[in-house]
Structure 1
């Protein structure tokens, strides 16, 4: 009981509450602006939070994570311009409802569904994280190696159409993670004579480059969108009839989103699409979807925010990010000197409860801030990119330089931005590369330790049933896109 009270006390301190509110405000703003996102916001904030206490920094980022997921739904509903990928599914029915003159109703349904999904997932988060950590304490290096292989294999299922590209991007991330001095042999690898690389590549400049600089380069090649003017919007919380219609959908989608979030490498976008599809599948009014039905808004909103709480479970309990955004939060923990995983929870349980408190407050806060300022946030989308992106670039350079006072980090950021831009031009995502970068060091370290344990006998890895189980799941993860495509093809033939 004492760690719970201590953790909640940390979360509810005046200083941390101010940071949580700032995180919510930034999250809604970055979520609402097309082209910006919560991962980009966290990447930009990361170097500036190094000076904060670790709990304060992570609480702020966790609140930003929740709020950013909802922020994209505001513009998706009002102007059919999803500010973030998870909000795309919300626009399917949110915008048609707004076009009917019921924008306030659509925003109210979205907000309440999102908050409900987020809070329900936090219940799972606070129960499952300590339990999973207790199990993981018994893991030896072979089990952790197999777990990391499984997590990387899940990159194949982020998007069925680009599973190979995701795996390639993840492999590039793992390769970058090998730069520096090998812990076992002391041999320098891929340093090319730069002494700054002997300790490996710093996460933060790479993250800023991949998310901020590459996005700036992409946006520089597109014209400003002609967005319609926002009419007066009075947000209406769901009435009794709407609550009755969406209650089952919200509960079902919250469960789906939490489960998807817990799976390594999955995230809010996958959860939102599945939430929408399941809402439609269970509805008796399937033909009305796409015309502005409440269930079409509640399903993706409950699922995408439920994924935030679910994604924090493997991030904190295992040190395995549950999504691209939690990979950034994991990088922040590492930058603050922590080693995420079961021992973090064993040694500092109050840390987990502080994050729980911050995310709970963040969910309620974005309901108030997001709805009260919905019209303002939507109008901000009218800011020309010629003003917006130079500011983002300036913050990127300052953030990268401030880490160690070295222009080498700025060059790393610029190079990462160029790489990220080229990757996106050819259909490769930044998130899989970040996952590979974060997990690469764990993969190499646990493999080296396992080989020492087993005298370089690879077959002895299979002596552990847990290792065999993770390898089997990894094989299933790699094969799943092909299996899913075949099942979809068979369903289409049956429908014909």
Structure 2
């Protein structure tokens, strides 16, 4: 088994080390870091905006670039969190608590270095986990039939509800809304148009890119423009002495290891990924006893930077496992990656490893290269990122709005899609004002049609017998897990613990 993995990795590095793929890996890392640095943006709207551009690329190059944007944004998000007290990316929210306090005390350098080095180590470990577990899970996936896939998706959606930040009821509402939006369009079996409201453009369904750009892109832009300019203060001090002290290293190494382990596990879970990993890692560090002379948490403790930054990078790497092995997106970014693979006629799932081994292993190998690129890029370019933060929003966001509009128009050359983006932008802003996390909506929208298809197949094969969902061992086990998750999350102690995991101060 190990020999096979090493042989495949050798092939993957051969693919990743081509000039073209190295260029796209670098471009993805640069864009990801840039997006992470800019408050209010993130990998979801950026990947959504860039999906139309990937039409003309080779599938491997396109996925390498999009993956680079994802884990690059985890790096870049820590820069604004530390320097400006603004999380450039949602998973960097907890980094602001201690990172900005370190910067105010003149220790921005060690904070940025702790974030960068912890992220690099965690990213490499996450990639090792991906390379090791993906082939095993792919073999298991071949045992899955329609009933098993349906049960797995039900479990995934319930997991997304359980692990989503904020209200359980709101997360459930987002899932249901996503499922309903996925029903719009022509029914494959009957040929009837469902929920089309006599609008011809809706006969093919609502565009995935339109929803992603609207809810995540325009929605976030409107929310940021609604804030007063006084809330966007720039940290203008010079950054001196990048390297942490020996004492800093002694404190941060165990935190990095804990964060990496936690992120590697939580990244695989539906709805987990980088966001939950960073919150959970910080919660664990807060419950770890302070050593003599150590700064309290919230006042500049380097462990409060190293642990969540390691966790969110490990989580972002291992979230590729369920996508590449089972074809199930565990979070909003992976749902976008499904869209990118579909664009290139690649069916996500266990067959990717056998039918497209160059793509599968080339993508994994590119992650090691990308993590090395990010360390080299981020530490020397801190001064540039600080200057970029001083660009007025009134200049920055019109350009992003225009780019979104051009991107969605080129998808189908249809003005109707631009109106859809605008409508979902208002919807996204409403979600923001209501304190609702929109990521479960995207998961519901992606998984809804797939769930319907697999359920219909299962019922056709069983001649309408619904018991097929509970008589097959794997399907029954997955539905049992889903039921246990629902029962557990309703227990008072679990609900309190869940709320504590997402406390930001």
Considering the TM-score relative to the shorter chain, is it more than 0.5? yes
Q: Does 1:56 align with 2:61?
A: yes
Question: Contact 2:341–2:347 (CA<8 Å) still a contact in 1?
Answer: yes
Aligned-residue CA RMSD (Å): 2.1
Kindly state the Cα deviation for residue 160 of structure 1 after the two structures are TM-superposed: 5.5
243-252 vs 127-136, which moves further: 243-252
- Residue aligned with 1:264, SS: coil
C-alpha separation in 2, matches of 1:466 and 1:68: 36
Partner residue in 1 for 2:184:
179
Which residue of 348, 363, 385 maps to 1:355? Answer: 363
C-alpha separation in 2, matches of 1:100 and 1:230: 13
Q: Does 1:111 align with 2:116?
A: yes
Partner residue in 1 for 2:43:
38
Kindly state the Cα deviation for residue 86 of structure 1 after the two structures are TM-superposed: 1.2
C-alpha separation in 2, matches of 1:265 and 1:96: 30
With the length of structure 2 as denominator, give the TM-score of the two structures: 0.93
Which residue of 330, 336, 345 maps to 2:353? Answer: 345
C-alpha separation in 1, matches of 2:497 and 2:102: 32
Q: Does 1:277 align with 2:268?
A: no
Q: Per-residue CA shift, 1:325-378, capped at 9, x if unaligned?
A: 222112211222211011122211221211112221221111121111112212
Partner residue in 1 for 2:503:
none
C-alpha separation in 2, matches of 1:410 and 1:73: 32
C-alpha separation in 2, matches of 1:430 and 1:124: 29
Q: Per-residue CA shift, 1:86-127, capped at 9, x if unaligned?
A: 112112221222222111111111110011111101100111
C-alpha separation in 2, matches of 1:465 and 1:151: 18
In structure 2, do the counterparts of structure 1 residues 341 and 489 end up closer, same or farther at CA, with 3 Å as the change threshold?
A: closer
Kindly state the Cα deviation for residue 484 of structure 1 after the two structures are TM-superposed: 6.1
284-293 vs 446-455, which moves further: 284-293
Partner residue in 1 for 2:216:
211
Question: Contact 1:156–1:478 (CA<8 Å) still a contact in 2?
Answer: no
Partner residue in 1 for 2:163:
158
- Residue aligned with 2:491, SS: helix
Partner residue in 2 for 1:267:
273
Paired residues for 1:24-423 under 5 Å: 24-159=29-164, 161-224=166-229, 225-234=231-240, 236-285=242-291, 288-423=296-431
Question: Contact 2:489–2:495 (CA<8 Å) still a contact in 1?
Answer: no
266-275 vs 212-221, which moves further: 212-221
In structure 2, do the counterparts of structure 1 residues 484 and 276 end up closer, same or farther at CA, with 3 Å as the change threshold?
A: farther
Question: Contact 1:64–1:362 (CA<8 Å) still a contact in 2?
Answer: no
C-alpha separation in 1, matches of 2:498 and 2:232: 41
With the length of structure 1 as denominator, give the TM-score of the two structures: 0.94
297-306 vs 73-82, which moves further: 73-82
194-203 vs 65-74, which moves further: 194-203
Q: Per-residue CA shift, 1:187-235, capped at 9, x if unaligned?
A: 2212233343333332122211121121222223222234134211135
In structure 2, do the counterparts of structure 1 residues 183 and 490 end up closer, same or farther at CA, with 3 Å as the change threshold?
A: closer
Kindly state the Cα deviation for residue 490 of structure 1 after the two structures are TM-superposed: 13
Matched pairs, number: 492
Kindly state the Cα deviation for residue 153 of structure 1 after the two structures are TM-superposed: 0.5
In structure 2, do the counterparts of structure 1 residues 487 and 181 end up closer, same or farther at CA, with 3 Å as the change threshold?
A: closer
C-alpha separation in 2, matches of 1:416 and 1:489: 33
Structure 1 residue ranges without an equivalent (≥5): none
- Residue aligned with 1:227, SS: coil
230-239 vs 253-262, which moves further: 230-239
Question: Contact 2:272–2:330 (CA<8 Å) still a contact in 1?
Answer: yes
C-alpha separation in 2, matches of 1:136 and 1:144: 9
Kindly state the Cα deviation for residue 10 of structure 1 after the two structures are TM-superposed: 2.1
